[in-house]
Structure 1
Amino acid sequence: MIRHNSNDAGKLDPEFGRDGVATIIHHDYPSITISCVETGPDQKIYVAGTVSGGSVPASACVLGRFEANGTLDSGYGDSGFAQWIYEGFGIEQVQSFAFQSDGKVVVNCTVMSGQERRCAAFSRVGVDGWIDKDFGENGHTVLNIVLSPPTERSSPPKPSAEPDNNSLHSSGQSAANGRVSILPDGKILTSLNYFFNFSQIQGVLIRLHENGSLDTSFNQIGYLPVIHPDYMLNATVLRHVTVQPDGKYLGCGNVYDDSATPSSAMFVRYDPFGVLDEQFGEHGFVTIGSATHAHMIKATVMQPNQRILGFGDTHDNASVMTSLEPDGSPNIQFNRGQPLYTELQPDAITTWSGAAVQANGRIVLVGGLGERGQADIVVARFIDADLDPEFNDGQGWVRTRLENGVQSAYGMTLQDEKILVCAKLPGGKSALLRYLT
């Protein structure tokens, strides 16, 4: 085994894949988009995403497994992959996945119904890589939930509310974001965004039983609309939900209306019964606005002392991070309580799509850096609000170009403190990269 020293932090790991990179290839499909990566309880690497362009005309969801060194585990499922579709629904994207206590994997996707309604879909994959038919209906659950808006409006949403699909901002996960979590009792929690006639948006918290059926003990119907009271007729975009160590449900995203004011960051917290946490922010909600930046918080990670770090993008060249105390007040020890905007290079867009906090409290973020036509994978490490001078020869961040064109990290996890990144490459390809720390 090669010994590494602290001067190697930020360098690709030569013990992983080929010179730190493992290209992901599906045997039946020429195009694969991997959107999430995790290390399993068996210490193997799991990836999930979508495939297309093969003999089957529709896109399919996949869950793949790799050895710890980046080699495909061909004994898992069908030559390394579990694969499935949702009959009658078009696949939008794989959101996330989580491991149950028995090692089975619950995968959360978003799909589109024939009525162009976004639906949450779930599948469970056994430890052998084949669909577990004891979950839902033959291994799958699709929730075609029909909601009614608080009232009807004719005005369109503010054009800057969501990223332009042609920009680097869209290279990360979309506004459909959620994160599936397995609760201590085995129940399943995730979120969804619900669109009304493209003029109103509200978030939805969803909780299932371990077998894939709706948990009707949660808000009596198994799901709970998330609407900021000041934006009842506008947009409450719920991009991510996670479970705090104390068992409370923490959501994040952004809110906006039809005014010229840029969208504000939004955080919300519920107790396990679906009741807004009155000890968090103002009646359970926290919003953070700016006169110049539109905030789109993609996800949260927990910092030491139960602090909350939200990260995401703006609608200009900067990415954003903000840190909250456990009660939702600003963490004044992080950038004096103000959002931190980061532009790693002049005249280039910086986006964050994944983050983790290392055991020493240092913050790792991954995403993209570039402009239309050429963007690269970027990994950065911060000590609080400052770039880490011990990362990548004092620069604090590293830019990786595997090919010409637009490429960006979609997600990350820590593998024995090393930084494991899944990235989308040009030409319908995906890869895993591992960086030393």
Structure 2
Amino acid sequence: MKKLFIFLFGVSALILFAQDGAVDLNFNNDSGPNGSIIRAIALQADNKIVVAGDFTSYNNIARNGIARLNSDGSVDQTFNPGAGVVGSIHNVTIQQDEKIIIAGEFTKIGNVEKNHIARLNKDGSLDTSFNPNGSGPSAPVWSIAQQPDGKIMIAGTFVSYNGISRGRVARLNTDGTLDQSFDSEIGSDSILGSVVLQPDGKVLIGGYIINYNSIIRRTVARLNSNGTLDAGFNQLGTGANLPLSNMTLQPNGKVIISGFFTSYNTMNTGGVVRLNTDGSLDTTFEKNSSAGAYSSIVLPNGKILAAGSYYSNSMLFRLNSDGTLDKNFISNGMIQRMLIQPDGKILVCGNFTALNGVNKKQIARINGEDLLSVLQYEKDIIKIFPNPVENILKLKSNQPISDYELYSLDGKKISLGSTVNDSSINVSNLAKGSYLIKVKINGKEQTTKFIKE
């Protein structure tokens, strides 16, 4: 009887810690950062983690504003940013060549003047070849997005870049100089907090916009690839009553926007809403009047992870694809950013000292829905190879494949298409790293990880 009790206890414990939102007890078990917040997080192809915040040391090792962690949360001492940043970093992006773009409110990297955007080498040292002679943006950069060709979209509060007028949104060449083929002219008349690239090359910008190039646009606007306003998007409506914080695309082109606004187009919506592809409010999406979010991501299964608050409680919560609350996943804590690992676990960061009752300072890893798991018979239906892949990813199946979609690990859709059995997908333009491919087989969806080398 005693053995049976021990066995059942062990099984129940495994079930408990496998639940969605349960804290990974094997991650970040040291003292962590000495500051109060981690604002930005990025995952490298080798599963190392770059974090940025207001700390000056991490696990009692000097690191001013930025550090790289090993996959277990310990400090990677091969990455040394020296004196670090003067100011704060709000965005981190890993390039294909493993260099690291940082953006935010800082004015110096070590003793070198670098206003609001810079690039670091793989070892953490400053890449002096990035915008070497320019003054950079005139004010902070709040959001960045890298195009498949390596060019960089930035948005924020700046009104010029390298002394050339740009209305709070600009595109940079791969060396950090201004791409003058993208001209925002007057641009946005207020702060932009988010920039997102569509697969067709158009650009979504959001914040507290009232006008773009003197044309009325509320909260969200869409730009053509040259920076001109897309007149067919978001023509009507009053938008949000407060600025948005984040935008993310669904596979069907609809846009999830999040923030701490309470209404959109005068409707009581709460801070997580969905827009149709023309920019109008999607009224079929559940109105969560008590929800607010710093950020949100769309998962390959269509569900939405949002980091912010629900009924005034700080938490990470998950919504079903129709916007209703998924009660199987709630994680308490003041979380601001999150990323999905290749194994389906979720890295979260923000301003917290404990998560779900477990002492974890500012960064933690929690269990998420196992996006990669399928029944064994389903595994045999489709094979992808080679994996890792350099240029051409091949699909082989003994049942018809109708469609596929490619995702980054932060839930952003990269591309989609139709395919047939024994097909090939060109992934040569992807940056190095881990990705998810979702395919439809006989009406059912299967998601699998692959690595681009």
> Could you say which TM-score interval applies, normalised by the shorter chain?
0.5 to 0.7
Tell me the amino acid that sits aligned with residue 11 of structure 1. G
- Report how far residue 120 of structure 1 moved: 6.2
Is 1:24 the counterpart of 2:84 in the alignment? yes
2:105 alignment partner, one of 40, 45, 50: 50
The equivalent position to 1:357 in structure 2, one of 305, 320, 340, is 340
Q: Which residue of 253, 258, 261 maps to 2:259?
A: 253
In structure 1, the residue matched to 2:296 is 300
CA deviation vs aligned residue, 1:127-174 (integer Å, no higher than 9, x gap): 1221222221xxx5442449xxxxxxxxxxxxxxxxxxxxxxxxxxxx
Distance 1:313 1:333 in 2: 16
Aligned equivalent of 1:240? 246
Q: Which amino acid aligns with 1:276?
A: L
Match of 2:9 in 1: none
CA deviation after TM superposition for structure 1 residue 251, in Å: 0.6
Amino acid paired to 1:84:
G
Partner residue of 1:193 out of 202, 208, 222: 208
Contact 1:178 1:241 in 2 (8 A): no
Residue aligning to 2:187: 143
Output the amino acid matched with 1:279: T
Amino acid corresponding to residue 308 of structure 1 in structure 2: I
> Structure 1, unaligned stretches of length 5 or more?
26-30, 114-118, 147-175, 196-201, 228-234, 258-262, 290-294, 343-350, 386-411, 418-437
Aligned runs of 1:34-49 on 2, under 5 Å?
34-49=89-104
Q: Post-superposition shift, 1:51?
A: 3.6
Q: Per-residue deviation at 1:352?
A: 2.1
SS of the residue 2:351 aligns to: strand
Q: Residue 287 of structure 1 aligns with which residue?
A: 288
Match of 1:77 among 115, 131, 150: 131
Equivalent position SS for 2:228: coil
- Which deviations, in whole Å up to 9, do the C-alpha atoms of 1:351-391 show, x marking residues without a partner? 322111122221111123369xxxx9611111149xxxxxx
The answer as to 2:72 corresponding to 1:10 is: yes
Separation of aligned partners in 2, 1:49 and 1:210: 24
Does 2:149 align with 1:102? yes
Larger radius of gyration: 2
- 2:180 aligned residue: 133
Cα 1:270–1:94 change in 2 (3 A) is same
Q: 2:56 aligns to what? A: none
CA contact (8 A) 1:123 1:141 kept: no
Question: Is 2:73 the partner of 1:68?
Answer: no
> Any residues of structure 2 matched to 1:173-212 within 5 Å, and which?
178-193=193-208, 204-212=219-227
Letter in structure 2 aligned against 1:319 = S
Residue 273 in 1 paired to residue 315 in 2?
A: no
Matched, 1:122 2:117: no
Distance 1:97 1:120, change over 3 A: same
Distance 1:314 1:61, change over 3 A: farther
Aligned equivalents of 1:9, 1:74: Cα separation in 2:
28
TM-score normalised over the length of structure 2: 0.54
Look up the SS of the partner of 2:200 in the other structure.
coil
Residues 183/255 of structure 1: CA separation in 2 closer, same or farther (3 Å cut): closer
Q: CA deviation at 1:49?
A: 1.9
Paired residues of 2:295 and 2:307 also in contact (CA < 8 A):
yes
Opposite residue 295 of structure 2, the aligned amino acid is: A
Give the deviation of 1:191 after TM superposition.
Answer: 0.7
Cα gap change, 1:191 to 1:39, in 2 (>3 Å): same
Identity of aligned residues (%): 24
1:250 Cα deviation from its structure 2 partner: 0.7
Separation in 2, partners of 1:9, 1:353: 20
Residue identity matched to 1:68: K
Q: 1:185 to 1:288 in 2, by over 3 A?
A: same
Corresponding position of 1:379? 363
Q: What's the CA shift string for 1:61-98, capped at 9, x where partnerless?
A: 4321122332322222218xx64245xxxx3x311111
Kindly indicate whether the alpha-carbon contact (under 8 Å) linking 2:117 and 2:141 is maintained by their aligned counterparts in 1: no
Do the aligned partners of 1:206 and 1:224 also contact (CA within 8 Å) in 2?
no
**Taking structure 1 as reference, are residues 51 and 23 closer, same or farther at Cα in structure 2, changes over 3 Å only?**
same
Once the two structures are TM-superposed, the CA of residue 213 in structure 1 deviates from its matched residue by 1.7
Q: Residues 53 and 99 from structure 1, CA distance in 2 versus in 1: closer, same or farther, beyond 3 angstroms? A: closer
Q: Which amino acid aligns with 2:363?
A: V
- Cross-structure match for 1:160: none
| 8 Å contact kept, 1:95–1:178 | yes
2 CA distance for matches of 1:134 and 1:177? 20
Aligned alpha-carbon RMSD (Å): 4.1
Matched, 1:309 2:316: no
In the alignment, the residues of structure 2 paired with residue 302 and residue 254 of structure 1 have an alpha-carbon distance, to the nearest angstrom, of 18
TM-score by length of 1: 0.56
CA contact (8 A) 1:241 1:252 kept: yes
**What is the match of residue 330 of structure 1?**
325
Q: How many residues align?
A: 287
Q: Report the secondary structure of 1:332's partner residue.
A: strand
